[in-house]
Amino acid sequence: MEHYNMNLNLKVWRQKNAQTQGGFETYQVKNISSEMSFLEMIDVLNEELIAEGKDPIAFDHDCREGICGMCSLYIDGRPHGPWEQNTTCQLHMRAYKDGDTITIEPWRAGAFPVLKDLMVDRSAFDRIIQAGGFISVNTGNAVDANALPIEKDKADASFAAAACIGCGACVAACKNSSAMLFTSAKVTQLALLPQGAPERKSRALNMIAQMDKEGFGACTNTGACEAVCPKGISLTNIARLNQEYLGAALTVN
Amino acid sequence: MLNAKIPAGPLDKKWTSYKSTCKLVNPANKRKLEIVVVGTGLAGASAAAALGELGYKVKAFCFQDSPRRAHSIAAQGGINAAKNYQNDGDSVYRLFYDTIKGGDYRAREGNVHRLAEVSGAIIDQCVAQGVPFAREYGGLLSNRSFGGTQVQRTFYAAGQTGQQLLLGAYSALERQVALGNVTMYNRHEMLDVVVVDGKARGIIARDLVSGKLERHFGHAVLLCSGGYGNVFYLSTNAMGSNVTAAWKAHKKGAFFGNPCFTQIHPTCIPVSGDHQSKLTLMSESLRNDGRIWVPKKQNDTRKASDIPEEERDYYLERRYPAFGNLVPRDVASRAAKERCDAGYGVGSSKQAVYLDYADAIKRYGKIEAGKKGLDHASEAEIIALGKEVVKEKYGNLFDMYEKITGENPYETPMRIYPAVHYTMGGLWVDYELMTNVPGLYALGEANFSDHGANRLGASALMQGLADGYFVIPYTLGNYLADDIHTKPLPEDHPAFVEAEKAVADRIQQLMSIKGTKTVESFHKRLGKIMWDKCGMARNAEGLKQAIAEIQQLKKEFWSDVKIPGEINELNPELDKANRVADFIELGELMCIDALNRNESCGGHFREESQTPEGEAQRDDANYMYVAAWEYKGDHQWELHKEVLDYEVVKPSQRSYK
Ligand SMILES: Cc1cc2nc3c(=O)[nH]c(=O)nc-3n(C[C@H](O)[C@H](O)[C@H](O)COP(=O)(O)OP(=O)(O)OC[C@H]3O[C@@H](n4cnc5c(N)ncnc54)[C@H](O)[C@@H]3O)c2cc1C
Ligand code: SF4
Ligand code: FES
Could you say which ligand is closest to the alpha carbon of residue B235?
1
Residue A160 has pLDDT above 60, yes or no: yes
Tell me, what's the pLDDT at B449? Answer: 86
Residue contact A56–B469, C-beta within 8 A:
no
Residue A251 has pLDDT above 80, yes or no: no
Q: What percent of chain B clears pLDDT 90, i.e. is strictly above it?
A: 92
Q: How many CB atoms lie within 10 A of CB A160?
A: 21
Gap from CA of A133 to ligand 2 centroid (Å): 15
Gap from CA of B467 to ligand 3 centroid (Å): 27
Distance (Å) from the alpha carbon of B198 to chain A's nearest alpha carbon: 32
Fold annotation for A123-251: Fumarate Reductase Iron-sulfur Protein; Chain B, domain 2 (1.10.1060)
CATH number at residue B553: 1.20.58.100
Cβ of A37 below 6 Å from ligand 3: no
Tell me, what's the pLDDT at B39? Answer: 98
Asked if residue B446 lies in contact with residue B427, where contact means CB atoms within 8 angstroms, the answer is: yes
The sign of the CA dihedral B290, B340, B328, B530 is negative
Q: For residue A79, what is the enclosing H or E element?
A: strand A78-79
User: Do B617 and B520 belong together in one domain?
Assistant: yes
Amino acid at B544: K
Query: Under DSSP, is residue B498 helix (H, G, I), strand (E, B) or coil?
Result: helix
B174: nearest CB among A133, A156, A196: A133
Residues of chain A found within 8 Å of residue B513, distances taken between Cβ atoms: none
Rounded to whole angstroms, the Cα distance separating B518 from B574 reads 11
What are the backbone dihedrals phi and psi of residue B550, each rounded to the nearest 5 degrees, phi first?
Answer: -70, -40
pLDDT, tens digit, 9 for 90 and up, residues B319-330: 999 999 999 899
The sign of the CA dihedral B229, B233, B236, B237 is positive
Residue range A5-116, CATH number: 3.10.20.30
Examine residue B377 and state whether it is found in any structural domain, yes or no.
yes
Q: How many CA atoms lie within 13 A of B54 on its CB side?
A: 26
Asked if residue A76 lies in contact with residue A91, where contact means CB atoms within 8 angstroms, the answer is: no
Query: Model-level pTM greater than 0.90?
Result: yes
Rounded to whole angstroms, the Cα distance separating B346 from B417 reads 10
Name the residue with higher pLDDT: B223 or B396.
B223
Rounded to whole angstroms, the Cα distance separating B455 from B89 reads 22
Could you say which ligand is closest to the alpha carbon of residue A90?
3
Tell me, what's the pLDDT at B346? Answer: 95
User: Do B274 and B416 belong together in one domain?
Assistant: yes
Tell me, what's the pLDDT at B298? Answer: 96
In chain A, ranges of CATH 3.10.20.30 domains: 5-116
Q: Furthest-apart CA pair in chain A: how many Å?
A: 64
Amino acid at A95: A
Q: For residue B629, what is the enclosing H or E element?
A: strand B625-633
Rounded to whole angstroms, the Cα distance separating A151 from B263 reads 38
**A residues 178-237 lying closer than 8 A (beta carbon) to B:** 189-190, 193, 195-196
Boundaries of domain holding B313: 266-420
Residues of chain A found within 8 Å of residue B51, distances taken between Cβ atoms: none
What are the backbone dihedrals phi and psi of residue B96, each rounded to the nearest 5 degrees, phi first?
Answer: -60, -50
Contact residues for A120 (Cβ-Cβ < 8 A; gap 6+): A60, A72, A106, A107, A109, A112, A113, A114, A168
The sign of the CA dihedral B98, B99, B104, B106 is negative
Rounded to whole angstroms, the Cα distance separating A11 from B222 reads 44
Gap from CA of B469 to ligand 1 centroid (Å): 16
User: Looking at the 3D structure of chain B, how many domains does it have?
Assistant: 2
pLDDT, tens digit, 9 for 90 and up, residues B225-253: 999 999 999 999 999 999 999 999 999 99
Residue contact B564–A58, C-beta within 8 A:
no
Examine residue B233 and state whether it is found in any structural domain, yes or no.
no
| Short-list B226, B169, B247, B118, CA closest to B443 | B226
| Short-list A60, A37, A57, CA closest to A48 | A57
CATH number at residue B270: 3.90.700.10
Residues counted in chain A: 253
In chain A, ranges of CATH 1.10.1060.10 domains: 123-251
* β-strand partners of A33: A5
User: Does residue A121 belong to the interface with chain B, where contact is any CB pair within 8 Å?
Assistant: yes
Rounded to whole angstroms, the Cα distance separating B258 from B450 reads 12
- Share the mean pLDDT of chain A: 96
pLDDT, tens digit, 9 for 90 and up, residues B587-604: 999 999 999 999 999 999
Examine residue B66 and state whether it is found in any structural domain, yes or no.
no
Burial A32-64 (b: 16+ CB within 10 A, else e): bbbbbbbbbbbbbbbebbbeeeebbbbbbbbbb
Residue A1 has pLDDT above 80, yes or no: no
Average pLDDT over residues B92-107: 96
Q: How far apart are the first and last CA of chain B?
A: 37
Asked if residue B145 lies in contact with residue B151, where contact means CB atoms within 8 angstroms, the answer is: yes
Which pLDDT band holds residue B394 (cuts at 50, 70, 90)? Answer: confident
User: Do B505 and B386 belong together in one domain?
Assistant: no
Residue A253 has pLDDT above 60, yes or no: no
Asked if residue B81 lies in contact with residue B462, where contact means CB atoms within 8 angstroms, the answer is: yes
Residue B508 has pLDDT above 90, yes or no: yes
Rounded to whole angstroms, the Cα distance separating B281 from B148 reads 18
Examine residue B133 and state whether it is found in any structural domain, yes or no.
no
Distance (Å) from the alpha carbon of A157 to chain B's nearest alpha carbon: 9
Contact residues for A49 (Cβ-Cβ < 8 A; gap 6+): A27, A55, A56, A57, B564
Which pLDDT band holds residue B254 (cuts at 50, 70, 90)? Answer: very high
Query: Under DSSP, is residue A1 helix (H, G, I), strand (E, B) or coil?
Result: coil
- What is the complex's ipTM, to 2 decimals? 0.98
Distance (Å) from the alpha carbon of A176 to chain B's nearest alpha carbon: 23
Which pLDDT band holds residue B151 (cuts at 50, 70, 90)? Answer: very high
Cβ of B146 below 6 Å from ligand 1: no
Tell me, what's the pLDDT at A252? Answer: 60
Helical H runs in B207-352?
Answer: 244-251, 286-289, 315-319, 329-341
Residue A177 has pLDDT above 90, yes or no: yes
Residue contact A63–B74, C-beta within 8 A:
yes
| Short-list B360, B358, B365, CA closest to B305 | B358
| Short-list B221, B130, B186, B185, CA closest to B472 | B221
Rg (CA), chain B: 24
Average pLDDT over residues A228-236: 97
Examine residue B321 and state whether it is found in any structural domain, yes or no.
yes
Contact residues for B621 (Cβ-Cβ < 8 A; gap 6+): none
Could you say which ligand is closest to the alpha carbon of residue A228?
2
- Share the mean pLDDT of chain B: 96
Residue nearest to atom 3 of ligand 3 (CA): A66
Residues of chain B found within 8 Å of residue A152, distances taken between Cβ atoms: 135-137, 139
Cβ of A71 below 6 Å from ligand 3: yes
The sign of the CA dihedral B132, B134, B140, B143 is negative
Cβ of B237 below 6 Å from ligand 1: yes
Average pLDDT over residues B462-482: 98
Residue contact A155–B132, C-beta within 8 A:
yes
Q: How many CB atoms lie within 10 A of CB B308?
A: 8
Give CA separation, A173 vs A110, A160, A168, B37, in Å.
13, 21, 9, 36
Name the residue with higher pLDDT: B453 or B158.
B453
